[in-house]
Every structure is written in C-alpha cells, then in structure tokens.
Amino acid sequence: MFIEFTQEQTMFQGAIRDFAEKEIAPLVEEAEEKERFPVALFPRMGALGYLCVSHPAKYGAGELGKVGDCIAVEEIARIASGIASAIMVQGGIGTVILVRQGTEEQKQKYLIPAIKGEKIAAFALTEPNAGSDAAAIQTTAVKEGDSYVINGTKMFITNGPIADFVVVMSYTDKEAGPRKGMSAFVVEKGTPGFTVARKLSKVGNRSAETGELAFQDCRVPAENLLGEAGEGFGYMLATLARGRVSHAARSLGVARAAFEASLQYAQERVQFGQPIARFQAIRFKLARMATDIEAARWLMYRAAWLVDNGQERMKEVAMAKFFASEVAQQAVTEAMHIHGGYGYMSEHPVQRYYRDAKLFTITEGTSEIQQTIIARELGI
C-alpha cells in the first residue's frame, strides 16, 4: 500500500511546485480575465518534462506513474484550476488511449509531439444530449473505402478550441450497442468537416478553453482508428477511470489553496482585539478543513498507487473522486465564510476557488454517478 513518496517523487513535487509558483502564477490573472489558456506553457512544460509525466520514458515522458501525474495536477491546481484542467487533458484523457492502443506510427505522429508540448490534445465524448449516459452519444463514423466519415457534435470539450488533434468517440456500429459498436479516432485540426462551432464561456475554470466541436461529413483515414473497431467503449471506460484520479488531485489542489489562504487570513485578521483564528468557530472550521483534506489526500494517492500497481479498482477510484470533489466544495465554502466580505471581492483568489470548485462534482462523472459506481461495487 502507498505510504509515502519516494525520493524521486519528493524531488519532482518540489520542482513542479516551484514551477507552478514562479512560472504559472503570474499568468493566471490575465488567463482568467481573457478566458484564454497561455499556450506558451505547453512547449515550456514539455521541454522541462512536466507534461504527460505518467507516460513511458521511451517516448520522452517522465514515466512517473499515476502518483507522479497526481503530484503535478495537485500542485498546478493549487495555483490555477483552469490551467490544471488543460494540463490534465494533455497528459490524461487526450493521450492515454494513444499510449495504450495507438500504433507506433500514431505515437510518433501524435503522442511524442504532445509530450513535447508541440501539439495540444483533446478528448471528445460528451454531446449536447449525452453526458452521464455516455452510451447515448449520437456521433457516427461510417466506413467508406479506406476512410471513415464522421458526423456529430461534441460539447464541453476542454482544449477543444486550441487542440491540434482530438480523440473522438463515435459509433461505428450502432446496432451492436456501445460495448461492441463504439470506436475511437484521432481527428486533426484543419481536417475538412471538423470545426470549433463555438468557444464556451464558463462560471469558473476560465483559463481552460472549452468548446463545442462539430463534425460534418468529416473524412479521416482508416489509419486514424485507435485500437480495434468496436472496442472504443472499453478504451473510454479505462481512460475515464484513470482520469478520475487526476480529477481528485485537482480537487485536492484547490482545497489546499482555499485552506492555506484561510489559515493565513485567520491569523492576520483581528476582530474584538484578537486574531479570528483564536475564536472557536474559526478554529473548528480550519481543523475540519485540514482533516478532510488529509483524508482526501490518502484516498486519492492510494487510488493512484493502485493504478500504478495494476489494480485499477473502480470502487477506490470513484471514492477518491467523489470524496475529494465534495471536500473541495466544503473547503471553498468555509474559506468564503472565513474571509467574509473580502473573499467575495473579485480581486481576491478565494472567489475564484469558490467558482472553480463547483465544477468538480459535475465533470468526469457527477457525485451521483460516483456513488452509483461505489454502490454497485458494494454489490447493492
């Protein structure tokens, strides 16, 4: 069982924390205001080995496993959840199927440039009428000669407006159902019939660019099929399971940021002749926040450790994602209360944590979906 970081992981944690504080933090205000991801971060992080850190070393990645990936996500999310979202997709759902199912040619063409930060990746599953019910997607890919013709619309796609390639989930055989009829394809930016229909404006996580993608008679070569035709649903489930551990790490990072800001503020803010941290009401809030964050940390890193040791258990993954996202909700709410009116002001980062955290119980499987998975794994 995972107990503590190795020396390598500890060194990486210090390095990525330092990078986030020095290189990412100065970019956050402008990125949030303009709702634009600072794309220069991709090649910068790629050159330092900070992208796709869990992927194999043979392709230029760090091969630090899921634990390493979660270390990076936690530290970046502590600074900016939106920026962490884009980085998560690059090293997670946007490229994991390539690592697991891609041909060597596909890895050379897409994976290696993604690891270097030369190409930006996205993953397109959700549709206007298919969210939690992923099997209900309507996008189709029809085989015509040595090509597939894709038609459909994808919604809420992180990195969609800036992606150089997108992994698109489509039905190749609707009659066979999702488990034998869904397939995954790589679609490159600029492919005729593939357009960014619109960029979406969000309440939080504004530095992550999110879009609606349209595919109209979009013809892609058959060689862009990932893995086997009809096996995409299984690939997708495995990808999402691993991604949910990263989402737990993002929740943990934001919860930490809210707690650290609250602890400092409570020690500095004086009311009735003493720092508010001396009042039991505030002390107990901070004590509970610290405890919940520590519990979320153990659940999340244990789930990551299980993934790294070939034990991708759905129950533990769902528990980590569910609990960490709920902890983040509670932490940012308490942070707003502790900061009072100052926290509600737009110039204070606490209001950003508050807005960002709301997404965590919705995306990549709602809290209700996670509880459904946990209950199913319990046999009920």
d(CA 345, CA 309): 45
Q: Which of 23, 14, 129 is nearest to 80 (CA)?
A: 23
**Residue that the structure tokens 């930006």 belong to:** 120
Q: Cα–chain-centroid distance for residue 28?
A: 17
DSSP state at residue 201 = P
Token duo for residue 250 = 């993002």
Q: Cα–chain-centroid distance for residue 46?
A: 18
Type of residue found at 36 = R
Q: Which of 244, 379, 239 is nearest to 323 (CA)?
A: 244
List active site positions.
364
Contact 336/354 with Cβ under 8 angstroms? yes
Residues 127/132/136/141 CA torsion (nearest 10 deg): 50
- Measured CA to CA in angstroms, residue 70 lies from 27, 243, 247 at distances of 22, 10, 9
Containing 168, the helix (H) or strand (E) segment is strand 165-171
Give the number of other Cβ atoms within 10 Å of residue 274's Cβ: 10
Strands 210-221 and 225-226 come out as unpaired
Give the number of other Cβ atoms within 10 Å of residue 181's Cβ: 20
Burial of residue 171 (number of CB atoms within 10 Å: 0-12, 13-18, 19+): buried
DSSP state at residue 224 = G
d(CA 75, CA 81): 10
Give the number of other Cβ atoms within 10 Å of residue 277's Cβ: 19
At residue 189's C-alpha, the angle toward residues 82 and 42, to 5°, is: 40
